[in-house]
Amino acid sequence: MKKIVVLTGAGMSAESGISTFRDAGGLWDQYPVEQVATPEGYAANPKLVTDFYNARRKQLLTVEPNEGHRLVAALEKEYEVTVVTQNVDNLHERAGSTHVIHLHGELTKVTSSRNPNDPRQIRELQPEEYEIKIGDKAADGSQLRPFIVWFGESVPNIEVAADYVGEADIVIIIGTSLNVYPATGLLYYAKKDAAIYLIDPAEVKVPYDRHVHVIQKGASEGMRELSKLLAINS
């Protein structure tokens, strides 16, 4: 069975109504990154940051996976699929994908503010627990914080993701620029004979000498086209 790695970014979930940070009218316009997505911002105002992620968590209850998510999950019928996502939502899992690596953490999980990457401290929240308060403690007694990789923090899963990319026969990139880390770095691990597909409605400049089959469409429409291409080539 051929192996596929699907690398997804904010454009994957945009069709579901998840706010992106970088687009006009996105979250960066409402909150400076330094306030809500850095360790320094959290140290300066933990309540603001906690409330920000509470609101994002509750937004998940109002959105559904889009057709693009479902078509990615459907690839598992014919391929061994690993999803490597920069997104912190759980829409891939809800669409049926069974092997998802989150590079930037998971919105539905919380962890210790003292040792955020200690597996013993990380726990999944049920929807009725989505409102975290100052004073809520992790198992080690420290304040619970979002299980999110903030700017300036290391990306624990990047090496694991690189290993999967290195074994893939097909790499599919959806809704993330090839000019933005970690997509660029991960693609250098792809085998020389791996087929690479890029789905994005914007014009994307391919930054190196690899043939990339570009489908200039949104996630759902692009995945419909790619699913047909893969069926023809299989």
Report pLDDT digits (tens) over 213-231. Answer: 999 999 999 999 999 999 8
Among the candidates 85, 115, 148, a domain finishes at 148
Do the Cβ atoms of 42 and 207 come closer than 8 Å?
no
Do 120 and 72 lie in one domain? The reply is no
Q: Is the pLDDT of residue 172 over 50?
A: yes
- For the chain, helix, strand, coil in percent to 5 are 35, 20, 45
Together in a domain, 180 and 94: yes
Q: What is the pLDDT of residue 183?
A: 67
When pLDDT is averaged across residues 28-56 and rounded to a whole number, the result is 89
- Note whether 136 and 72 are same-domain residues: no
Name the residue with higher pLDDT: 233 or 106: 106
| CATH number for the domain that contains residue 29 | 3.30.1600.10
**Identity of the amino acid at 217:** K
> 99 catalytic, yes or no?
no
Which whole number is the average pLDDT over 162-172?
97
**0.85 exceeded by pTM:** yes
- Residue type (1 letter), 100: V
Q: Specify whether 170 is located in the same domain as 228.
A: yes
Average pLDDT, the chain: 91
Asked if residue 133 and residue 207 are part of one domain, the reply reads: no
For the segment 51-77, the average pLDDT, to the nearest whole number, is 94
Query: How many residues are there in the chain?
Result: 234
Read off the pLDDT of residues 6-38 as tens digits, 9 standing for 90 and up: 999 989 998 998 866 555 455 556 778 889 999
Alpha carbons within 13 angstroms on the beta-carbon side of residue 213 total: 13
169 shares its domain with 127: no
Confidence of residue 232 (pLDDT cuts 50, 70, 90): confident
Answer yes or no: do 140 and 32 share one domain.
Answer: yes
Q: What percent of the chain has pLDDT over 70?
A: 92
Question: What's 205's domain CATH number?
Answer: 3.40.50.1220
pLDDT of residue 234: 65
Residues 47 and 134 in one domain: yes
Same-domain check for residues 172 and 219: yes
Q: Rounded mean pLDDT of 180-202?
A: 88
Average pLDDT over residues 105-117: 96
Contact 197, 183 (CB under 8 A): no
What's the DSSP call for residue 168? -
Find, among 228, 198, 229, the residue nearest to 211 by Cα: 198
Quick one: 222 exposed, middle or buried, by C-beta within 10 A (0-12, 13-18, 19+)? buried
Instruction: State the alpha helices, DSSP H only, in 31-143.
Output: 33-36, 39-44, 46-60, 67-74, 91-95
Choosing from 116, 148, 180, the residue where a domain stops is: 148
Instruction: Verify that 75 and 137 share a domain, yes or no.
Output: no
Question: Is residue 97 domain-shared with residue 194, that is, in the same domain?
Answer: yes
Residue 206 banded pLDDT, cuts 50, 70, 90 = confident
Q: Which of 102, 104, 211, 213 is catalytic?
A: 104
Amino acid, single-letter form, for residue 111 = T
Does residue 90 sit in the same domain as residue 184?
yes
User: Three-state SS for 14?
Assistant: helix
Query: For residue 233, what pLDDT is reported?
Result: 73
- Give the per-residue pLDDT at 83: 98
What DSSP character marks residue 23?
S
Domain of residue 163: give its range. 1-17+66-104+155-234
Count structural domains, the chain: 2
Which of 122, 148, 174 is the last residue before a domain boundary?
A: 148
